[in-house]
Amino acid sequence: MSPALTRLRQHMAALGLDACLIPSSDPHLSEYLPGHWQARQWLSGFTGSMGTLIVTQDFAGLWADSRYWTQAEQELAGSGVTLVKVETAASTQHLDWLASQLKAGQVLAVDGDVLSQGAARALKQALSHSGVVLNTALDPVAAIWSERAALPSAPVYEHLPPAACESRADKITRVRSAMAAQDANYHWLSTLDDIAWLLNLRGSDVSYNPVFLAHLLLRHDSATLFVGAGKLDAALAARLGADGITLAPYAHAKAALAALAPDATLLLDPARVTQGFAQSVPDRVRIIESINPSTLFKSCKSKAEASQIRATMEQDGAALCEFFAWFESVIGRESVTELDIDTQITAARARRAGFVSESFATIAGFNANGALPHYRATAQAHATIQGDGLLLIDSGGQYLGGTTDITRVVAVGTPSEAQKRDFTLVLKGVINLSRTRFPKGTLSPMLDALARAPLWRENIDFGHGTGHGVGYFLNVHEGPQSISRALPTPHMAMQEGMVTSIEPGIYRPGRWGVRIENLVLNIEAGVSEFNDFLAFETLTLCPIDTRCIVLALLDTAERDWLNTYHAEVRSRLLPHVEGAARDWLLASTQPV
């Protein structure tokens, strides 16, 4: 039994709480959480990035989707927490459980400061007929988490030209125009990538994402940035001041919302603000609920940003050539572990111009470990890469001129025919979606089936989405578009300039996994009497291992796509590599 769980239950009893809900979240609704808000991990021991923990006096359950089932089963062993399997991250099964298990008059506590307003509404609706009392005014773990991490204090810095392609003043003008169009004279932002994008600022408060803890209150003629003391130097603060932005303590953010004048009209995104902050807005203030304008603006990269991203992809691709040349030279000759993959691939990127950091924790899984979509090797548990099979490597980098995310699977020794067949089916899914054209404004979830179709024909499927948006030197997972089974909303419409991943997969638990991932850019594909059309430009530049392909399963058009892609990879990367990396690139991009 987890000692932390015992402490929580004792505290619950003292407060008269019957149940606690601990989401994987913070006041900014971030995907990757600073240690200060990793309460779910502290209580359960589960280290995955998503999952919902519910604790009562006689039960503790973690609701997690299929990406994490194997990992959760391993990490929850002996913790006293039961894994409750759900199919997708959007599942609301934990709400149904609460409504059915809690009795009238019992009290459920959840920290409203880390619960999105949308999630809070769904929770209230689920409990509306049960008589359960919902308390969102306290942090259930604050008083018992003595070893809780402090808030991060890393400095904030400016994203500068030429990588920053639009001025802070111009971005703010665009957002203010969107505010005015909705008759709003105030706009509240808590999502960190929105704030970083809008102000051309970056930081390192959140692992892998170059953002910093802050809230922003934007008015029609000024703005206040609520940020930790000392995180911005005097010179940067002065430059922000010249653009009408003043600084205030991070802890004063909620009070500023509570102090809004009666004539205020506040633009608020219910999906991107927490219940605690939304509830602090006075009743007399008129609230307009709409998506943050910056979320839409930053998803559509400008032509200048697209040019920077293409250059960044050349640097990233060259780093990968160096890495794979090293790998091929040592595999079978020296001992190589999954940990070595992370070390070597990061070192290769670090030698490249503009590199800042990894964009997420590298996934390097050999054979059975590759079947875990979110696997991460540790010093305590990792595999040596030896024998025959498949090595899955999912990695990425943060560069001043863009964010990369790529998955490649490579042959180790001699892969089996079954492994090669799976690889080829996944490749067919990548090609099928990469080649498609679609009307501008198509809702992105509608494209998901195109990548799955070659797998569905073989009665195969995968549990994660096919594609996520990617930021511009920002979060590696970005909205609003999502090529997935998500319920489509109007904001998911595909527009020119969006960067999205294409990453179908096949996972055979205990045996192997295959995923191939490229990033693509939405580009104009012509105008007809029916609509303006878009197509995908493949941005990622790295060979696909042809040793893993069953060529008989590819038709002529698919072979042509692969050969054209490899010709592009070769021509774009050759100027950036030499020696063994150049030799590996030439050998790996031969036509099939």
Average pLDDT over residues 158-175: 97
Claim to verify: residue 172 and residue 124 sit in the same structural domain: no
* Residue 147 within a domain: no
The amino acid sitting at 155 is P
Determine the 3-state secondary structure of 500 from DSSP.
strand
Alpha helices in 331-389 (DSSP H): 338-350
Strands 518-527 and 499-502: antiparallel
**Other Cβ atoms closer than 10 A to 456:** 13
Closest CA to 419 of 521, 576, 550, 297: 550
Mean pLDDT check: name the lowest of 33-42, 375-384, 407-416, 504-513: 375-384
Tokens of 360: 């997420």
* Residue 144 within a domain: no
**536 sits in which H/E element:** strand 532-538
Q: What is the CA radius of gyration of the chain?
A: 24
For residue 120, the domain's CATH number is 3.40.350.10
- The half-sphere exposure of 103 on its side-chain side, counting CA atoms within 13 A, is 0
* Residue 329 within a domain: yes
For residue 485, the 8-state DSSP code is S
Cα dihedral angle (347, 349, 33, 122), rounded to 10 degrees? Answer: -140
**Other Cβ atoms closer than 10 A to 140:** 23
How much is the pLDDT for 66?
Answer: 74
Claim to verify: residue 176 and residue 27 sit in the same structural domain: no
How much is the pLDDT for 442?
Answer: 97
* Residue 510 within a domain: yes
Give yes or no for a contact between 144 and 109, defined as CB atoms under 8 angstroms apart.
no
Range among 71-75, 143-147, 572-576 with highest mean pLDDT value: 572-576
How much is the pLDDT for 79?
Answer: 84
Q: Give me the number of domains the chain comprises.
A: 3
Determine the 3-state secondary structure of 501 from DSSP.
strand
* Residue 293 within a domain: yes
**Other Cβ atoms closer than 10 A to 203:** 23
* Residue 130 within a domain: yes
In whole angstroms, what is the distance from residue 301 CA to residue 287 CA?
A: 29
pLDDT of 88 strictly over 80: no
> Residue 79: which domain range?
3-135
* Residue 241 within a domain: yes
Please say which residue of 135, 166, 184 terminates a domain: 135
pLDDT band at 329 (very low <50, low <70, confident <90, very high): very high
Give yes or no for a contact between 532 and 452, defined as CB atoms under 8 angstroms apart.
no
Give yes or no for a contact between 534 and 496, defined as CB atoms under 8 angstroms apart.
yes
pLDDT, tens digit, 9 for 90 and up, residues 432-462:
999 999 999 999 999 999 999 999 999 999 9
- The half-sphere exposure of 335 on its side-chain side, counting CA atoms within 13 A, is 4
State percent of the chain over pLDDT 90.
Answer: 80
Claim to verify: residue 84 and residue 187 sit in the same structural domain: no
In whole angstroms, what is the distance from residue 537 CA to residue 544 CA?
A: 17
Claim to verify: residue 365 and residue 484 sit in the same structural domain: yes
Claim to verify: residue 71 and residue 219 sit in the same structural domain: no
pLDDT band at 127 (very low <50, low <70, confident <90, very high): confident
Range among 13-22, 84-93, 116-125, 574-583 with highest mean pLDDT value: 574-583
Claim to verify: residue 476 and residue 495 sit in the same structural domain: yes
Alpha helices in 435-574 (DSSP H): 448-456, 556-573
pLDDT band at 201 (very low <50, low <70, confident <90, very high): very high
Q: What is the per-residue DSSP string for 68-121?
A: GHHHHHHHHTTTT-EEEE-SSTT--HHHHHHHHHS-TT-EEE--GGGSBHHHHH
pLDDT of 84 strictly over 70: yes
For residue 448, the domain's CATH number is 3.90.230.10
Claim to verify: residue 316 and residue 418 sit in the same structural domain: yes
Q: Is 550 exposed, middle or buried (0-12, 13-18, 19+ CB in 10 A)?
A: middle
Claim to verify: residue 128 and residue 208 sit in the same structural domain: no
* Residue 78 within a domain: yes
Closest CA to 199 of 231, 234, 156: 156
Claim to verify: residue 307 and residue 266 sit in the same structural domain: no
pLDDT band at 381 (very low <50, low <70, confident <90, very high): confident
State percent of the chain over pLDDT 70.
Answer: 99
In whole angstroms, what is the distance from residue 92 CA to residue 243 CA?
A: 43
In whole angstroms, what is the distance from residue 188 CA to residue 198 CA?
A: 12
**64 sits in which H/E element:** strand 60-64
Claim to verify: residue 72 and residue 216 sit in the same structural domain: no
Please say which residue of 105, 135, 165 terminates a domain: 135
In whole angstroms, what is the distance from residue 363 CA to residue 374 CA?
A: 7
Claim to verify: residue 249 and residue 342 sit in the same structural domain: no
Q: For 134, list phi and psi in degrees, rounded to 5.
A: -105, 125
In whole angstroms, what is the distance from residue 74 CA to residue 76 CA?
A: 6
The amino acid sitting at 536 is F
In whole angstroms, what is the distance from residue 123 CA to residue 52 CA?
A: 13
Distances (CA, A) of 153 to 113, 191, 570: 20, 18, 43
**Other Cβ atoms closer than 10 A to 238:** 10
Claim to verify: residue 124 and residue 235 sit in the same structural domain: no
Determine the 3-state secondary structure of 408 from DSSP.
strand
In whole angstroms, what is the distance from residue 267 CA to residue 289 CA?
A: 6
Tokens of 474: 């920002």
Q: Indicate the length of the chain as a whole number.
A: 592
In whole angstroms, what is the distance from residue 197 CA to residue 180 CA?
A: 20
Average pLDDT over residues 180-192: 96
pLDDT band at 77 (very low <50, low <70, confident <90, very high): confident
Q: What is the per-residue DSSP string for 411-442?
A: EES---HHHHHHHHHHHHHHHHHHT-EEETT-
Please say which residue of 278, 298, 318 terminates a domain: 298
- The half-sphere exposure of 516 on its side-chain side, counting CA atoms within 13 A, is 27
